[in-house]
A and B are shown apart, each in its own frame.
Chain A
C-alpha cells in the first residue's frame, strides 16, 4: 500500500531533550515536506526536500533540523525542544510536478 509512515504517533518529552520524528514513504517520491498544525493557524511548512541531499527552509524552520540521506526517509530533528514546539506534525511526500501531497497520519508532540 502506498503510504507515508510517521513514528511515533504520540510523544511527550521534556524541554531540552533531543528527539527525532521519523518519516518514510514507499512511493519513490522526490519531494518531501514537514508541516506543523496549530489551532487557528492551519498547516505551516517547516522544511522541505526536493531530492536526496537537497533540503530548504519553509516558513517556520527555527528550532528544527532535517536530513535527506535516502530518498524514502526524511526525519525531523528537534535538538533542544521547547514548549512552543508542542504541536501536531505531519510529514508529506509528492511526485515532482504532479501536484498534491500524500500525508502521514501525524505525530502529536507535547513538550513540557
Chain B
C-alpha cells in the first residue's frame, strides 16, 4: 500500500525566492513518484516524475525534485519563484511493476507575493 504526506497545506513565498514544497511517501514496493500542478479552474498537469532512473528529476517550468530513498522524500523545488507559479501542487505515488493506482497527497497551495 502507498500513501503520501505533504507538509504544509499553504506555502507563501516572495517573487524571486526559493520554492520548497515537501512530500514524504510510504510504499511497500519500489515507487513511482509524481508532482502535479493545478491552476485555478483547470485540471492537473504533470510537472515531473521519478521512475527509478536519475534521482534528481527535472520538470517543466524550472521545477525539479530529488528522490531520497533513505528519507522517503520527494521534495519539489524551484530556485526563483514567479508570480505564474501560484497554484496548488499535488505529490502522488504509485507502485512500480504494473500497478497504476495513483495515490495523492492532500495538496499544497502556493502563493507568490510581489
Contact = CB atoms under 8 A, between A and B. Distances in A.
Interface residues of A, number: 25
B104 interface: yes
A41 B90 CA distance: 11
A45 interface: yes
B49 to A, nearest CB: 5
Nearest to A4: B43
Q: Is the interface on chain B under 10, 10 to 19, 20 to 34, or 35 or more residues?
A: 20 to 34
B23 to A, nearest CB: 12
25 contacts: A33-B102, A35-B104, A40-B9, A41-B106, A42-B104, A42-B105, A42-B106, A42-B107, A43-B44, A45-B102, A50-B100, A94-B100, A97-B98, A99-B49, A99-B51, A99-B94, A100-B34, A100-B46, A100-B49, A101-B44, A101-B46, A101-B102, A104-B43, A105-B43, A106-B43
Interface of A: 31, 33, 35, 40-45, 48, 50, 58, 90, 92, 94, 96-97, 99-106
